[in-house]
Amino acid sequence: MQTFPKKRIEIVVEAPLLRRITAKLDETGVTGWSVVPILAGHGRDGDWSAEGQVGTASQMVMLITIVDAAKLDAVLDGVFALVSHQIGFVTVSDIAVMRPERF
């Protein structure tokens, strides 16, 4: 089966920022994304866990989106302006998709 190269962006960020990031993706013409909750983790400040938390401040989420290489810089510039001072990280990887018109 033929596949087509695309870019996969993973954004791990503090939950309170999620709405602003999805708005920014919408603004830059990204057509779809998925959000995954993160149960627990370990970073520079030690362990953390979402267990039993009522507020969003102690929670992290992962946002996954796939974009065309031509759009990558615009999306990353917009996202980085939002997350540069926040806890978390952004990764970009090369992937292959079967339906390129969707991204």
Q: Is residue 88 at the binding interface for other proteins, with CB under 8 A as the rule?
A: no
Q: Is residue 68 at the binding interface for other proteins, with CB under 8 A as the rule?
A: no
Beta bridge partners of 88: 13
Q: Which residues contact 10 (CB under 8 A, 6 or more apart)?
A: 62, 63, 64, 90, 91, 92, 93
Q: Work out how close the CB of 100 gets to other proteins at its nearest, in angstroms, rounded to a whole number.
A: 31
Please, is 21 exposed, middle or buried when counting C-beta atoms within 10 Å of its C-beta (0-12, 13-18, 19+)? buried
Question: Pick from 1, 2, 34, 46: which binds other proteins (CB under 8 A)?
Answer: 46
Q: Is residue 36 at the binding interface for other proteins, with CB under 8 A as the rule?
A: no
Binding residues for other proteins, rule: CB under 8 A, are 14-17, 20, 45-59, 81-82, 85-87
